[in-house]
Amino acid sequence: MRVQVRSVDNVTIVDCAGEIDLYSSTRLREALLKALRSGIPSVLVNMEEVTYIDSSGIATLVEGLQLSQQTKTRLGLYGLRNNARSVLELARLHKVFNIFQHEQEALEKIPSTRPFEGP
């Protein structure tokens, strides 16, 4: 799995590629939590190239969501493939995340969303 971080305007984008499991989710966790603590107003996780995600990957995203509540950061996901969307729906988490189709939509809409305020 590869994780890279870039900035577009006032948004930090965490690009993920490959399979997110118990082993590789630590890399996503490190990058995501660092971005959320950086003071930037919005963070997006690009999942276009994520081919697999297990419960540890989902747990990492939820941990990010909880941190975003504390840091008042807007957090969004985009580019979810069917399998990632399915596991989020199964866990009933698809309604608590800001989920966008693609990067352009995410960059346009994330500034107008509200930071997570709890379930």
User: Are the beta carbons of 16 and 50 closer than 8 angstroms?
Assistant: yes
Nearest to 78 by CA among 57, 119, 49, 112: 49
* Residue in 14, 50, 65, 110 binding other proteins, rule: CB under 8 A: 65
Q: Binding to other proteins by residue 8, rule CB under 8 A?
A: no
Backbone dihedral angles phi then psi of residue 71, each to the nearest 5 degrees: -90, 0
Q: Which residues lie below 8 Å from residue 102, measured CB to CB, with a gap of 6+?
A: 48, 78, 79
Residue 98 to residue 3: CA distance in whole angstroms: 20
Q: Which is nearer to other proteins, 54 or 103 (CB)?
A: 54
Q: Binding to other proteins by residue 98, rule CB under 8 A?
A: no
Q: Smallest gap, in angstroms, from Cβ of residue 73 to other proteins?
A: 16
Residue 31 to residue 102: CA distance in whole angstroms: 20
Q: Binding to other proteins by residue 54, rule CB under 8 A?
A: yes
Q: Binding to other proteins by residue 103, rule CB under 8 A?
A: no
* Residue in 14, 16, 28, 58 binding other proteins, rule: CB under 8 A: 58
What is the contact surface with other proteins in residues (CB under 8 A)?
Answer: 19, 21-23, 52, 54-56, 58-60, 62-63, 65-66, 83, 87, 90-93, 96, 118-119
